[in-house]
Structure 1
């Protein structure tokens, strides 16, 4: 969901952040769902919020991700630790800054994104709200000279 939300902001021609970010992708630290489409509830939540063109096949983190991307965002503390361990264990260099996405909560404290898969339908709405807020706050922080979008 985070990829779909973030992509919808930076690839929308009406967004002030249009094309300021090159590649946007998502992956997991485990290979449990490699090749799978997003959960239907994720797609439904995105659609409810006007994101109708999101396509993705799950994949696992790659060594090359640390070189290809400027930022790698983890959704929770366990994933953050897993990504850091991956980089350290494999001695992968690269430019990517590994961060908890919730560092951009805008609340003054780090938040984690709970995986909504095993929680009720409202969890998907909360995840969407967090991903939207974190994306907007990250972009505003990273590109301070870009006027914020009107709400």
Structure 2
């Protein structure tokens, strides 16, 4: 869905839905969800009324029902994201029809998503654009968000910085007309 096909006939684009995916849904995808929500739910943001649904999930069911990792939460809080709540869940077939954009945190997650989607396409279509979140790195090359779980606090800070940069770049590149309203 491009910014030109997402219009309803008025100047306001249709609300979009975004899903962030990693392996276990307690570190990277929750970081991305929290960061993205904070941007699009800011009433002063040009994207405030653009996004209808934001969620995250994992390709594995290792942490279903768990809260995000405490280091994810403290990193979000240290950066001003203080109202984020989430319970981990696993990817569902319906996600490919319920979300416009599905962002993988790394190439392994992307391969899992593509395989999952190809398997289920035999029975139903998909509206989701599935891609690596790091395609919006702004550096001219694709980046991955490394799993910080076994690395430490600095890796959580790096993941936060990437998620913020990728989110901003995605919104500005995909919806340039809205980005111009703040320029």
Q: Of 100, 117, 120, which residue of structure 2 is paired with 1:90? A: 120
Pairing 1:128–2:160 present = yes
CA positional deviation for 1:101? 0.0
- Pair 1:43-2:88 in alignment: no
For structure 2, the 5+ residue unaligned runs are 1-30
Write out aligned runs for 1:57-136 (5 A).
57-91=87-121, 92-136=124-168
1: CA distance between counterparts of 2:126 and 2:115?
14
Figure out how many residues of one structure are paired with residues of the other and give that number.
150
Contact 1:4 1:51 (8 Å CA) reproduced: yes
Please report how far the alpha carbon of residue 90 of structure 1 lies from its aligned counterpart in structure 2 after TM superposition: 2.1
Query: Aligned equivalents of 2:34 and 2:181: distance in 1?
Result: 18
Q: CA deviation at 1:12?
A: 1.2
Q: 2:42 aligns with which of 12, 15, 33?
A: 12
* Structure 2 CA distance for aligned equivalents of residues 17 and 48 of structure 1: 23
Question: Counterparts of 1:19 and 1:33 in 2: how far apart (Å)?
Answer: 32
Q: TM-score, with normalisation over the residues of structure 1?
A: 0.96
Judge which range, 49-58 or 89-98, deviates more.
89-98
Give 1 or 2: higher strand fraction: 2
Runs (4+) off by over 4 Å: none
CA drift at 1:46: 0.3
| Corresponding position of 1:28 | 58
Superposed CA deviations along residues 13-54 of structure 1, whole A, max 9, x for unmatched, are 121110201100000001010100000100000001100000
Q: CA–CA distance in 1 between the matches of 2:180 and 2:63?
A: 36
Q: Is the 8 A contact 1:15 1:149 kept in 2?
A: no
State the distance in 2 between where 1:45 and 1:21 align. Answer: 24
Question: What is the CA distance between 1:148 and its match in structure 2?
Answer: 5.9
RMSD: 1.3
TM-score for the superposition, normalised by structure 2: 0.79
